């Protein structure tokens, strides 16, 4: 396509793509930094309002989840009360990463072992016999990851609901939680909006 074109013509064609890529990356970076700052300021202010130490952790990746859990306090899971919410929010991504790695190995290892057992020159029938094993492994991997994600987000959203309940009564905390779950950047904006609001009396939270 480009062999009969001059360098200037090639640049004329590629320049819009390059500009678009640069602008897109810049917008995405500004968006990410903005959401990061909004979340950090919100966690810092909420920590100060509750007399919690180390509010600056709101600006540290992963540690901000710990501090968010400290702000939420105890959460209810069924009939049980979960203490150390911050610690759970801190270790859950680590557990998720470990589960992902184990699940990946469960998917990969059986398939690789089966391919090795076929030898250097497998027939087409032998080669395609690997696909059922691969499919079953992928389904197992997907199930493991799904369960891990459910637990990961369950703790996070219970903590967010608890925080919103500390500021609003009725169905508002539920509405805020739904927005945080399904609308991009809503979580950061909602936390930022609540940063300076007055807390409800303890009996109403």
Asked whether residue 13 is domain-assigned, the answer is yes
Asked whether residue 2 is domain-assigned, the answer is no
Asked whether residue 1 is domain-assigned, the answer is no
Asked whether residue 11 is domain-assigned, the answer is yes
Residue 180 confidence class, pLDDT cut points 50, 70, 90: very high
133-152: average pLDDT: 83
Asked whether residue 115 is domain-assigned, the answer is yes
Asked whether residue 48 is domain-assigned, the answer is yes
Strand partners, 76: 81
The CA distance from 158 to 161, in Å, is 5
What is the number of domains present in the chain?
A: 1
pLDDT beyond 80 at 126: no
Task: Identify the domain containing residue 48 by its residue range.
Answer: 7-204
Count of residues in the chain = 205
Asked whether residue 76 is domain-assigned, the answer is yes
Give the DSSP H/E element, type plus range, for residue 93.
helix 85-117
pTM, rounded to two decimals: 0.78
Asked whether residue 108 is domain-assigned, the answer is yes
Give the DSSP H/E element, type plus range, for residue 80.
strand 80-82
38-57: average pLDDT: 94
The CA distance from 1 to 48, in Å, is 62
pLDDT beyond 70 at 1: no
């Amino acid at each position: 396509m480009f062999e009969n074109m001059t360098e200037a013509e090639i640049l004329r064609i590629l320049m819009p793509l390059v500009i678009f890529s640069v602008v897109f990356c810049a917008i995405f970076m500004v968006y990410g930094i903005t959401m990061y700052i909004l979340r950090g300021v919100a966690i810092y202010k909420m920590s100060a309002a509750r007399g919690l130490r180390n509010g600056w952790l709101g600006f540290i990746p992963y540690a901000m989840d710990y501090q968010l859990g400290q702000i939420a306090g105890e959460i209810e899971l069924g009939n049980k009360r979960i203490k150390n919410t911050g610690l759970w929010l801190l270790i859950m991504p680590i557990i998720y990463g470990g589960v992902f790695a184990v699940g990946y190995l469960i998917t990969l290892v059986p398939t690789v072992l089966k391919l090795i057992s076929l030898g250097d020159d497998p027939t087409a029938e032998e080669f395609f016999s690997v696909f059922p094993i691969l499919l079953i492994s992928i389904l197992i991997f997907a199930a493991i990851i799904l369960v891990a994600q459910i637990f990961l987000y369950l703790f996070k959203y219970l903590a967010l609901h608890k925080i919103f309940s500390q500021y609003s009564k009725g169905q508002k905390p539920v509405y805020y939680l739904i927005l945080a779950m399904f609308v991009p950047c809503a979580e950061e904006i909602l936390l930022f909006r609540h940063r300076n609001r007055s807390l409800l009396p303890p009996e109403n939270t």
